[in-house]
Amino acid sequence: MQQVPVSLWTLVAGIVVTAISIWIGQNHTLMPVQASLQAPLVDGFFSVMFTIAIALFLVVEGTIVLFLIQFRCRRGDDTDGVPVEGNLPLEVFWTAIPTVIVLGLGIYSVDVFNRMGGFDPAGHPHSAAHVAHIPGSAMPTAGYAYAATLSDTEATIAPTIAPTIGIGASPQTLNKPADLVVDVKGIQYAWIFNYPDSGITSGELHIPVGADVQLNLSAQDVIHSFWVPNFRLKQDALPGIPTELRFVATKPGTYPVVCAELCGGYHGSMRTQVIVHTPEEYDSWRTENQIAQQQNLNQVVAVNLADLSTSEFLAPHTHDMGISAATLESLVIGH
């Protein structure tokens, strides 16, 4: 029986490895749901890298298993193995192939980075960016309400320096202002979102679907990292150095925002969410919060109920109960 040529076996193995790698690389479920225009770019790059990784794994591990079987020591065979001092074609092959792969992935990654807007974050006119100053270094612990209040003086809006680091406008939106600008400040251990166009301050990020959103990031104390896994975007927030993150959300929903930079003892609890609304829902949220924050009160991100007086604590409930605050307070004190 004629022996099958090694070249034919190699060809068949190559076809099988290629087919398996492509199928796994394009049908994995390792990434969360895509929710931004940038997400498909990152996922496409990841799928290519994962396909190559699967192929390399199958080739390397398959070769090891094959050699374990074919070149195992037979019973009674005490002879030495064949002395091999070198194989120039093989050495060139295993050096050239990784080189080509690395160069290809490098060029591909640069293209993705450019299409996402990473090359020139300051190459377009920025809308007026503002950051409200939050006094002190608030360091809430898990399980406790945390109050970040701003006095009239401290809440004065002041322009920030245009960010020159981060993910900016894509080539398609270069030299175009963003539809929505939000100033984001990272503090231990929370994210504060300020909307300069409406004066709204929030502990969550609310944006309309399909809008070109620009986040101006800063940090009050230490380095934080603003990461939205569903957007495939992550950008450091640096003390004293403004950074930018610009994107377009494509799917309404609620997605986690995680600090991806170790920033202290409660780093793991530094989480919030980005809520992507339909345009109508966003307009409704914006109107409601503008009305709510037009009261003659300090701007409050979160309130520690223990700091409120009895009358202040009961005030929101008087309308629902149909009695005056004084009457309700007297009932509580009498009780």
What's the Cα-to-Cα distance from 250 to each of 35, 40, 68, 212, rounded to whole Å? 5, 11, 51, 10
Are 192 and 293 members of one domain?
Answer: yes
Are 50 and 193 members of one domain?
Answer: no
Strand, coil or helix: 285 = helix
Q: Are 108 and 263 in contact (CB under 8 A)?
A: no
Q: Are 295 and 280 in contact (CB under 8 A)?
A: no
Instruction: Report d(CA 335, CA 183) in Å as an integer.
Output: 47
**Residue 35 lies inside a defined structural domain of this protein:** yes
Neighbours of 105 (CB within 10 A): 14
Instruction: Report d(CA 303, CA 146) in Å as an integer.
Output: 6
Instruction: Report d(CA 71, CA 335) in Å as an integer.
Output: 90
Are 242 and 227 members of one domain?
Answer: yes
Domain enclosing residue 242, as ranges: 149-303
Instruction: Report d(CA 109, CA 103) in Å as an integer.
Output: 10
Q: Please report the pLDDT score of residue 34 as a whole number.
A: 94
Instruction: Report d(CA 94, CA 87) in Å as an integer.
Output: 11
Omega before residue 282 within 30° of 0, cis: no
Instruction: Report d(CA 325, CA 331) in Å as an integer.
Output: 10
Claim: this prediction has a pTM higher than 0.75? no
Q: Please report the pLDDT score of residue 7 as a whole number.
A: 80
Check whether 240 has a pLDDT greater than 70. yes
> Distance between terminal CA atoms of the chain?
102
Are 43 and 163 members of one domain?
Answer: no
What's the Cα-to-Cα distance from 152 to each of 28, 129, 133, 147, rounded to whole Å? 53, 19, 11, 16
**Residue 129 lies inside a defined structural domain of this protein:** no
CA 222 to chain centroid: 18
Q: Please report the pLDDT score of residue 284 as a whole number.
A: 92
Token reading at 75 = 């019973």
Degrees to nearest 5, angle at CA 279 with 274 and 285: 60
Q: How confident is the model at residue 320 (pLDDT cuts 50, 70, 90)?
A: low
Are 43 and 159 members of one domain?
Answer: no
Q: Are 224 and 257 in contact (CB under 8 A)?
A: no
The chain-wide mean pLDDT, for the chain, equals 81
Number of separate domains in the chain: 3
Are 279 and 327 members of one domain?
Answer: no
Over the stretch 160-205, which tens digit does the pLDDT of each residue have?
456 678 888 888 877 888 899 999 999 998 999 999 988 899 999 9
Check whether 334 has a pLDDT greater than 50. yes
**Residue 131 lies inside a defined structural domain of this protein:** no
**Residue 230 lies inside a defined structural domain of this protein:** yes
Token reading at 100 = 């080509």
Check whether 130 has a pLDDT greater than 60. no
Are 62 and 195 members of one domain?
Answer: no
Over the stretch 69-123, which tens digit does the pLDDT of each residue have?
888 888 888 888 788 888 888 889 889 999 999 999 999 999 999 999 887 765 5
Which CATH number belongs to the domain containing residue 237 in this structure? 2.60.40.420
The residue among 159 and 310 whose pLDDT is bigger is 310
Over the stretch 52-61, which tens digit does the pLDDT of each residue have?
999 999 999 9
**Residue 79 lies inside a defined structural domain of this protein:** no
**Residue 312 lies inside a defined structural domain of this protein:** yes
Are 279 and 183 members of one domain?
Answer: yes
Instruction: Report d(CA 228, CA 32) in Å as an integer.
Output: 10
Neighbours of 264 (CB within 10 A): 15
**DSSP character string of 98-121:** HHHHHHHHHHHHHHHHHHHT-S-T
**Residue 110 lies inside a defined structural domain of this protein:** yes
**Residue 126 lies inside a defined structural domain of this protein:** no
User: By mean pLDDT, which of 17-26, 135-144, 209-218, 258-267 is the weakest?
Assistant: 135-144
